[in-house]
Structure 1
Amino acid sequence: MTAEHAGSRRRKRSGGFLRGMREILIILAIAIVVSFVIRTFFFRAFLIPSGSMENTLQVNDRIFVNLMIDSEDQLKRGDVVVFEDHQGWLPPAESDPNPFLQALEFVGLYPSTSEQHLVKRIIGMPGDHVTVDDQTQQVVINGEAIDEPYLAPGSAASDIDFDVTVPEGQLWVLGDHRDASGDSRAHMDGPNDGFVNIDHVVGRAEVVAWPLDRWGPAGSADEPFEEVPEP
């Protein structure tokens, strides 16, 4: 083999390697763009940091949230929703110092770990009168006591008394682990009387994606509210 032929083969191998790397980079760029579009307009992943929604959602569950369901006419009682904390329910967030994970989270390839989002269940929609039965401790909506099969075992519907009428554009939200949930009841003395502005809802939790043995629906349930009359 002549030196010229050897050089030609090396150039071909080098050219093939560069073409392969270019194709990989193009595929990676497309994946990042698609993921960013999905994260921005359709679905977003979140990490569950606490046990306030047990046993429906457990600590370190990864969930996918439907960003297209976030307005009053799309939401309903029983939906599990993620919303932004604009009322100071949570302490200030500590940013993750890992820039790589921050970049992956930004484009949607890593679940959001932001402590400025909360996940709760909608109990009261605008206009609903929501209270607690003194004897049974059941939640009562517009005069109808509801059974809540999603509650954490041993957790009463509410051991905190409240009697509210949900204002227009607001929601009354509770965690499924009522004994360990800093929900609307815990913030009745706050700046918004414990209500959550619908405009702050990010979307409805749809799927538990991780761990794999918990793959399935994220717990929204409208059946317990079917007999509730409109306000």
Structure 2
Amino acid sequence: MDTEAQHTERDPSSPADPQPDPASDDGSRSVRVSGAPEGPDTSPGPGTDAEPEADPDTGRGPSWRRTGLLGAVCVVFLLLLSHFVAQPFLIPSGSMEPTLQVGDRILVNKLAYRFSSEPRRGDVVVFDGTGSFVQEEPTGDPVTGLLHDTAAALGLAAPDETDFVKRVVGVGGDRVVCCDATGRLTVNGARVQEPYLTPGDRPSDVPFDIVVPPGTLWVMGDHRSQSSDSRDHLGNPGGGVVPVDKVVGRADWIVWPFGRWTTVSESDAYDAVPPPPAGGHQVGPRGRAHG
């Protein structure tokens, strides 16, 4: 059998292949896939940015939409957590040094006093000073205020001008006096050794003698020479004391920077302080503002 391939020659009498018509669609195509259905060319032209379509198998949209939705959910969750459970606060001043330093971010436990418990002597608390430390609530642009409040609630901005962090020195009924013959603070007659004070600071440069009204707190900073606290507002409406219901929560943790990540230690400085007498102190409140 002859297995050699036979060459087919063109019949010289057959007509030449027709030239492609420039106006025809076939003339604009260089390659046609055999067996592919014909139809309009829908592929994007050069330089065209095609929007990513949802995957027909998974139904997922573009990744940036998922990322944006996830980010929004996280922000809402953090805001709810900040409002009801624990809120971060940025420390803007040195009034609580060395316990809290400028730039520290603390986490305030809002559940600490939620269930019938009240602040105790020695607690470091954050409170709204409107009506005690600040007589009028600041006004400003509502949009800017909302953005600032959101950032402050996430610990990304300084707290409102009405928010303060101080240490509780006296609770309702206590008589707080400074200073005794040895230069110490006394509460209900008991001398208090304050290890948390800034080294070199005295308990107070100005004497005072105050009986704390029921339902209020006498608060002071740990850096006494740099702290504007209850002493400074003795002559103001409210007498410098802070209503218990204005307390936001107890500062329990330092969460930033990482090198200072720790708990805010409870102080045993007031363990020996007796409760106020049942009939109240016989000496009325008196004092003068801290200069």
Aligned to 1:87: 131
Q: What TM-score comes out, normalization by structure 2 length?
A: 0.69
2:119 to 75, 100, 121: 75
Q: Quick one: higher RCO (CA 8 Å, sep 6+), 1 or 2?
A: 1
* 1:14 match: secondary structure: coil
Equivalent position of 1:113 in the other structure: 159
Q: Secondary structure at the match of 2:54?
A: helix
Cα distance in 1 for residues equivalent to 2:210 and 2:164: 21
Q: Does 1:223 align with 2:268?
A: yes
- Using the TM superposition, name which of 22-31 and 33-42 deviates more: 22-31
Equivalent residues of 1:62, 1:111 under 8 A apart? no
Q: Aligned-pair RMSD on alpha carbons?
A: 3.1
Q: Report the counterpart of residue 221 of structure 2 in structure 1.
A: 175
1:189/1:98 CA distance change after superposition, 3 Å: closer
- Judging changes above 3 Å, is the alpha-carbon distance between structure 1 residues 106 and 137 closer, same or farther for their aligned structure 2 residues? closer
- Relative to the length of structure 1, the TM-score reads 0.85
The alpha carbon displacement at 1:24 in A equals 1.9
SS of residue paired to 1:36: helix
- Conserved? CA contact 2:125–2:165, under 8 Å: yes
Mapped contact 2:170–2:219 kept (Cα < 8 A): yes
Which stretches of structure 1, 4 residues or more, deviate above 6 A after TM superposition? 1-6, 94-100
Q: Which amino acid is 2:54 matched to? A: G
Counterpart CA distance in 2 for 1:122 and 1:216 is 20
C-alpha change, 1:147 and 1:106, in structure 2 (3 Å) is: closer
* CA offset digits 1:118-172 (Å, max 9, x no partner): 1100000111111124322211111110111100010011222111111111000
**Cα separation, partners in 2 of 1:37 and 1:4, compared to 1, 3 Å:** farther
More displaced 10-residue stretch of structure 1: 120-129 or 131-140: 131-140
Q: Tell me the CA shift for residue 228 of structure 1.
A: 0.9
Equivalent residues, number: 229
Instruction: Determine if contact 1:44/1:111 at 8 Å carries over to the other structure.
Output: no
Residue in 2 that maps onto 1:14? 53
Shift of 1:108: 2.8
2:81 alignment partner, SS class: helix
% identity of equivalent residues: 37
Q: Kindly provide the amino acid, as one letter, of the partner of residue 43 in structure 1.
A: A
Q: Which amino acid aligns with 2:171?
A: M
Q: Which residue of 1 aligns with 2:192?
A: 146
The structure 1 residue matched to 2:77, chosen from 31, 34, 40, is 34
Q: Residue 199 of structure 1 aligns with which residue?
A: 245
Call closer, same or farther: CA 1:137–1:197 in 2, change over 3 Å: same
Q: Is the 8 A contact 1:46 1:112 kept in 2?
A: yes
CA deviation vs aligned residue, 1:198-222 (integer Å, no higher than 9, x gap):
1111111111122221111234x23
The residue aligned with 2:255 is 209
Check conservation: 1:206, 1:217, Cα contact below 8 A.
Answer: yes
Gaps of 5+ in 2: 1-32, 44-48, 277-291
Structure 1's 11 and 225: CA in aligned 2 closer, same or farther, altered over 3 A? same
1:157 alignment partner, SS class: coil
Report the Cα offset of residue 107 of structure 1.
Answer: 5.9
Alignment gaps of 5+ in structure 1: none
Contact preservation (8 Å) 2:171, 2:212? yes
Structure number with greater Rg is 2
The change in CA–CA distance for 1:58 and 1:95 in structure 2 (over 3 A counts) is farther
- Asked whether the 8 Å contact 2:130–2:137 carries over to 1, the reply is no
Q: C-alpha distance in 1, partners of 2:113/2:262? A: 21
- Given that residues 69 and 204 in structure 1 are in contact (C-alpha distance below 8 angstroms), is that contact kept between their aligned partners in structure 2? yes
Q: Secondary structure at the match of 2:70?
A: helix
